[in-house]
Structure 1
Amino acid sequence: MQKNQFRFCLYCFVSCVSFVVTVSGNDNKNLKFTKETDLDSYTCPGQHALYFKDNLSISQCLATCADSEVCFGVFHRQESSRCIGCRDKFLTRRNAPILLGTTFYRRRSYLVVTNAKTWTDAKNHCLELGGYLVDIKSPAENAFIEKLLESVNFDVWLGATDMENEGVFIWQDGSNVNNYFQNWKDGEPTNSGGIEHCVVRVNPTRKWYDVSCGRTYRSVCEFD
């Protein structure tokens, strides 16, 4: 009888520890996902996946990820009980071109689009891929974009516009360009002719200009 009680207590203790580790992992490691059907069309690029052992339960999978400093979220495949941890926050929508030239920087990925389009068409193209026209909010990100574009000789659309409020340029997430890094050419923006409401990064000056949104340029898409 005592042995059975001991086994029951041990089982309860192990279960509680597993639950605490799992919950703690979710709080501290931002473990959003427990199985593929919970991913809401998000996936983890192969080069950033951490493959754990097969035959793990969901709680074991979460606990394993919580023990890793570089694991952001987990996939748990029920049919094989395989636990896959995603390194850091390299998440991008399933229909994003992660194997077709996308470049990763910190927690985002970027794709240079070489087909010239109007600003609106470029914005919609990025949206169709699961991203948005690039916003550049820090000197470090700007340096990355410049490195990304150093082998090409063309101008690219950025995601800022003042269509809704003249003179107030807004990134597509609704944030004000003035609150972040800016790289305008001296004297810009000018709104020449009253029709310049979109932003282009011009080569070779690498500076930003406001221009008519109906002009056509290449672009850079960004993916969270």
Structure 2
Amino acid sequence: MNFFARVFILCILSLNSATFPDKRQRLYTKVVAHDGHLPMTSDIISQHGNVSSLSQCGHACSGLSGCCSIFYNEATKHCLTASSVNQHGLLSSPGYGHFTLRGEVIAEGVCFDNSIYIVGLTKEIWTDAQNICLNKGAKLVVIQNEQENEFIRSLSRDIGETVWIGGTDSTEEGRWTWTESTDAMSFKAWGPNQPNNYNNQDCLSLYMQFDFMWADENCLTTYKYICEKNLQ
């Protein structure tokens, strides 16, 4: 699904209680470490009996605010939808599998593992983009690994132009950190000859001309942006 189709669906969901077609293909990632467990009651959004398949369980999650996880028991045909999943508060319940919805468009944004990603369609300077994300209970994207990086790049390709993400070296030149931490980044995916600090570039972007690899940019340049809302 391209970006504009996603935006259209998000708009419909925000105005109505529209649901997704039953036959829409969804991608699930099984969280093997959570086999045989259920989330805490406070994390459960809804429960459903007589659910014939994992796909139908995933369909129950669509359109529910904050729903990016499902727990499904194939034997009992019982389905639970969940928001945040506190791995330290999981309850033992044999037969259930935990699945996250990858790339699924829900009312708030797009699911990937334990986060919802929200695309900012206005062009903002980096600090304003970060503040808008914070006002949504989110932050500019923090990319932790190659899988997440490729997912965010795919979102950026749908947008079709350079976007801001949450890295900066404004505190110490050359020492890149995420806004939520003072620790140096453990994962990096720089484009060619980046970062180069050309004319004092201290903020991190996914640069269209580098096929959305990382590049440092002047923080006062205006770009669209991607927020990340953690559900864990």
Quote the residue 1:117 is aligned against: 124
Distance 1:202 1:34 in 2: 37
Gaps of 5+ in 2: 1-36, 46-63, 72-77, 81-88
Separation in structure 2 between the aligned mates of residue 47 and residue 171 of structure 1, nearest angstrom: 24
Give deviations 1:58-107, integer Å, cap 9, x for gaps: xxxx9987456346xxxxxxxxxxxxxxx7699xxxxxx9514x000111
Where structure 1 has 5 or more consecutive residues not aligned to the other structure, the ranges are: 1-27, 37-42, 54-61, 72-86, 91-96
Gap change, CA 1:129 and 1:68, over 3 Å in 2: farther
Counterpart residue type for residue 33 of structure 1? S
The equivalent residue for 2:150 is: 143
2:193 pairs with 1:172: no
2:96 aligned to 58, 62, 69, which one? 69
Q: Secondary structure at the match of 2:178?
A: coil
Q: Map of 1:40-79 to 2, 5 A cutoff?
A: 45-46=66-67, 48=69, 66-67=93-94, 69-70=96-97
Q: Structure 2 length normalisation: TM-score?
A: 0.57
Matching of residue 196 in structure 1 with residue 198 in structure 2: no
The secondary structure found in structure 1 opposite 2:127 is helix
Q: 2: CA distance between counterparts of 1:155 and 1:208?
A: 10
Q: Does 1:99 align with 2:99?
A: no
Measured against aligned partners, the alpha-carbon deviations of 1:177-212 in whole angstroms (never above 9, x if no partner) come to 5412x111222112223x211011111422211111
What is the aligned-residue RMSD (CA, Å)? Answer: 3.5
Q: Pick one of 22, 42, 66 that aligns with 1:33.
A: 42
Counterpart of 1:155? 162
SS in 2 for 1:127: helix
Greater per-residue helix proportion: 1
Q: 1:88 to 1:145 in 2, by over 3 A?
A: closer
Per the alignment, residue 187 of structure 1 pairs with 193
Q: CA deviation at 1:31?
A: 2.9
Q: Percent identity?
A: 24
Q: 1:47 to 1:211 in 2, by over 3 A?
A: closer
User: Residues of 1 paired with 2:90 and 2:67: CA distance?
Assistant: 21
Q: Which consecutive segments of 4 or more residues in structure 1 shift more than 4 A?
A: 46-53, 62-65, 87-90
Give the structure 1 partner of residue 16 of structure 2: none
Matched residues in 1 for 2:154 and 2:90: separation?
A: 38
Number of equivalences: 160
